[in-house]
Amino acid sequence: MPTMPNAPALSVLDLAFIPEGGDARDALRRSLELAQHVERLGYRRFWLAEHHNMIGIASAATAVAIGFVAAGTSTIRVGAGGIMLPNHAPMVIAEQFGTLETLYPGRIDLGLGRAPGTDQQTLRALRRNPMAADTFPQDVVELQALLGPVQEGQTVQAVPGADTNVPLWILGSSLFGAQLAGMLGLPYAFASHFAPDALDQALAAYRSRFEPSAQLGRPYAAVGVNVIAAQTDEEAQRLFTSAQQAFARMVRGTRGKLPPPIDDIEAFWTPRERAHASGMLACSVVGSPETVRLGIEALAERTGADELIVASAIHDQQARLASYRILAEAAGAGTAAGLAA
């Protein structure tokens, strides 16, 4: 099978989905197994994300989950995709990720988002001001300073944290985050795996506004994509029905654990649910090895992405592991220059 020329790096966004029939412990163990698997395959990084009050996602204590995965791996970068900074004081995040960087030097990433990652009632339970997102740019700069070298006269330090220089990313699904990442000279990851509408405009805004920084000399953009790979298109489409059901349930307001695949998705959702879910999942590549290769190649050419962050909501763990293996083989992940550390 031909491989992609100039392939972008491949990485993983694992939402630590709790499958129907399983619990949070199962989900976190599955995450570690997946991280070990993709490390062997040559993927660049493995990210977990902060969500709260969601019975189907086990990564609410994101820094703790990252530590668990980092302890069980040795070379792959591990990090947050992301931490919802308005939920936290920058000092606390600096201490958490400074500790992670101290324990696992050179392997920790810190992606930052400004959405709460939850509902307003849960946001109040987190004891944060609902208006905290308004100070997101200032909080990013404060966090960056806390992770940087100690300045003369600085009286408040993150310990561990100061001078660990944990790499920061800005995450987003709109022009706001793209422009901020460009202005601060930080790498940018777009959440097209569930909010693809502004992808092209956001990448253009990021690249046009980019100013070199101490962390980054040129724009570096990552694009989120759902990939479900199997030996045949039909098998992959069936596996994809787990994600389709989950997104349809969001429209219904009945979130739950990740359901097993079904034979007939059309019998499951209404036309309204189909339109909404399909729109959110528009940035998805589903199919056989050749279908996946062509889809990934088209996305890379369209976006010019330096890196693809792959999400795969697959109920069966062995099928999920196989999907990432098929993708790596289809994209030439084991030998592509883009996957060099």
Mean pLDDT of 166-187: 97
Q: What is the mean pLDDT of residues 328-334?
A: 77
Q: Are 14 and 51 in contact (CB under 8 A)?
A: no
Identify whether the C-beta of residue 259 lies closer than 8 Å to the C-beta of residue 242: yes
Residue ranges of E strands in 85-220:
108-113, 168-172, 188-190
Residues 6+ apart with CB under 8 A from 254: none
Residue 73 pLDDT exceeds 90:
yes
Residue spans of the domains in the chain: they are 9-339
pLDDT tens, position by position, 92-112: 999 999 999 999 999 999 999
Residues 10-29 have pLDDT tens digits of 999 999 999 999 999 999 99
Contacts of 261 (CB under 8 A, 6+ apart): 238, 239, 240, 241, 242, 315
- DSSP string for 43-89: -SEEEE----S-TTB--SSHHHHHHHHHHT-SSSEEEEEEEEGGGS-
Q: What is the pTM of this model?
A: 0.93
Task: Give the pLDDT of residue 115.
Answer: 79
Query: 297, 327 in Cβ contact below 8 A?
Result: no
| CATH code linked to domain 9-339 | 3.20.20.30
Average pLDDT of the chain to the nearest whole number: 93
Question: Residue 6 — very low, low, confident or very high, per pLDDT cuts 50/70/90?
Answer: low
User: pLDDT tens, 124-169?
Assistant: 777 667 677 788 999 999 999 999 999 999 999 999 999 999 999 9
Is the predicted pLDDT of residue 320 greater than 90, yes or no?
Answer: yes
